[in-house]
Amino acid sequence: MKLLLSEEGVFPVTRNDKGELLKNLPNTGMSVSGTVQGEGRLTGTPSLFIRLAGCNLRCIWNKGNGEYSICDTPHSVFGKVNSKPFSVDSIISVIRNNIGNIRHIVITGGEPVLQAKQLTLLCRRIKENFDVHLTLETNGTIFDDDLSGFIDLFSISPKLSATNPDREKLRKFGLTETDVHRNHNSRRINLSSLQSYIDFAGMNGKSFQLKFVVTELQDVDEIRTDILNKLTGWTRDDIFIMPLGATKEELRQFTPVALEMAIANGWRFSPRMHIDLFNENTGV
């Protein structure tokens, strides 16, 4: 059974599945495998990442002034997706050859839960082979009971209406409208799935965080009215406000809004530390 990973696969790594040293250093520029988690509760924690390809959403944010910002992992979602099938065995070997003293693995995407069946098998094998904490980064639109049993932290990032990929945005990026674009707005918030994550975490002694990417102070109304007021079982400490920021320039533009919103509501501010540390490189 194979998983479709994006071009980074397991990253950042210095050795392949056979244990051979790779010719090039990882994009972090360091000679060690691994990086740090850049967002949310575990910011700064040494981690290995596994990026799965494909997503059921197609986010393009409004930045104001008629400018737009596309999903920060477009190579795993938009247009020609650079993906490769990996067997569970080969992923386990890459982890074994690169894990060192790292005790934290992050499953990210795209939307990883689209491959729930294969991913459940991978997570089971990871837990059998390594003493590690597993984070699942998801847009929260799909919940899977079996997969969730192996996850320690659910890092859920529900998408606001500013991400809707309308025709004007698609035109700007030279993209042709498909059903996935047309369905984005009706799919982006699945309250029943979000509640399942929160309830599952509560009942099974696991953690969760709801991360909202914002661009303007008015986003708070949508976060409260359309999402948080319709969910139960969360506290202020579970809510993270993050500036839009696939680039340093975007981070500079949107950090003041995110900071102000977080402080005014008693929520937490999340940095995007990997942008500060490694610029806009992928695989970091």
Nearest to 247 by CA among 67, 117, 65: 67
Q: Is 57 in the site for ligand SF4 (CB under 6 A)?
A: yes
Residues 123 and 107: beta-carbon distance below 8 Å: yes
- Using CB under 6 A, which residues numbered 139 to 168 contact ligand SF4? 139, 159
CA 182 to chain centre: 22
Q: Which residue stretch of 53-61, 83-91, 223-231, 272-280 sits at the interface with ligand SF4 (rule: CB under 6 A)? A: 53-61
Instruction: Using CB under 6 A, pick the residue from 13, 53, 55, 151 that binds ligand SF4.
Output: 55
Residues touching ligand SF4: how many (CB under 6 A)? Answer: 12
N- to C-terminal Cα separation, the chain: 27
Instruction: Using CB under 6 A, pick the residue from 3, 59, 107, 220 that binds ligand SF4.
Output: 59
Rounded least distance, CB 110 to ligand SF4, Å: 5
Tally of CB atoms within 10 A around 108 = 20
Residue 181 and residue 56: Cα distance in Å, rounded? 9
Nearer Cβ to ligand SF4 (34/74)? 74
Residue 118 and residue 111: Cα distance in Å, rounded? 13
Q: Is 104 in the site for ligand SF4 (CB under 6 A)?
A: no
Nearer Cβ to ligand SF4 (58/169)? 58
Q: Which residue stretch of 54-62, 82-90, 223-231, 275-283 sits at the interface with ligand SF4 (rule: CB under 6 A)? A: 54-62
DSSP state of 226: I
Helices and strands per DSSP (H, E), number in the chain? 9, 12
Residues 20 and 103: beta-carbon distance below 8 Å: no
Q: Is 71 in the site for ligand SF4 (CB under 6 A)?
A: yes
Q: Is 270 in the site for ligand SF4 (CB under 6 A)?
A: no
Nearer Cβ to ligand SF4 (81/132)? 81
Helix axes 116-129, 88-98, angle to 10 degrees: 40
Sole residue written with tokens 């202020």: 236
Query: Residues in the chain, how many?
Result: 284
Q: Which residue stretch of 11-19, 71-79, 80-88, 113-121 sits at the interface with ligand SF4 (rule: CB under 6 A)? A: 71-79
Instruction: Using CB under 6 A, pick the residue from 12, 26, 109, 245 that binds ligand SF4.
Output: 109
Q: Is 36 in the site for ligand SF4 (CB under 6 A)?
A: no
Nearer Cβ to ligand SF4 (111/152)? 111
Phi–psi pair at 229, nearest 5 degrees? -65, -15
- Using CB under 6 A, which residues numbered 72 to 91 contact ligand SF4? 73, 77
Residues 233 and 154: beta-carbon distance below 8 Å: no
**Interface contacts to ligand SF4, rule CB under 6 A:** 55, 57-59, 71, 73, 77, 109-111, 139, 159
